[in-house]
Amino acid sequence: MAQKYKFKLDGLLKLRKFKEQQLKVELGQLVKEISFVEGEIQKAQDHIGETYQAQEDVIGDSAKGRMVQFFPYYLQAKREDIKAKENYLYALKKKYDVKLSEVREAMGESKVIEKMKDNDFKSFKSARQKKIQSDIDELIQIRREGSK
C-alpha cells in the first residue's frame, strides 16, 4: 500500500498561518480606527468653517455680547480637539507601521515553512516514483526470468 505524505512541521505551519491571520485582523482594526479619527478631524475642521460663517451671520445682525464672546472659545476648543486627535492619529500610524512590519515578518515565516513543505513533498514524490519504478523494473525482471 502506498504511503501517504505527512509533513512533520504541519502543526507549526498552521500556527504561523493563524498568527499571520490574527495580525492581519489587528492591522485591519488599526486601519479602521485611523480612518475614523481622520474623519473626526475633518468634521472638526468643517465645524470651524461653519462657526466662522455663523459668526459672520450673527455679527451682521444685532448680536449680544455674550454671543460674540462664545465664538473664540468655541474655535479654540475645536482647534485643541483637532490637535489632540492629530496626536492620537500620529500614535495610531506608528502602531500601524509596527503592526505592518510584524505582518510582513509573519508572512515571511509562513512562506519559508510553505517552501520547506513544497520541497519535502517534491522529494517524497520523487522517492515514491523511484520506488514505483524500481518495483516495475523488478517485476519486468522477474517476468523475463520466468519466461526463459
pLDDT digits (tens, 9 = 90+) for 52-108: 887 777 776 666 666 667 778 888 999 999 999 999 999 999 999 999 999 999 999
**Confidence at residue 66, expressed as pLDDT on a 0 to 100 scale:** 66
Give 13-20's long-range contacts (Cβ < 8 A, gap of 24+).
13/110, 13/113, 13/114, 13/117, 16/106, 16/109, 16/110, 16/113, 17/110, 19/106, 20/103, 20/106, 20/107, 20/109, 20/110
Q: What pLDDT is recorded for position 61?
A: 66
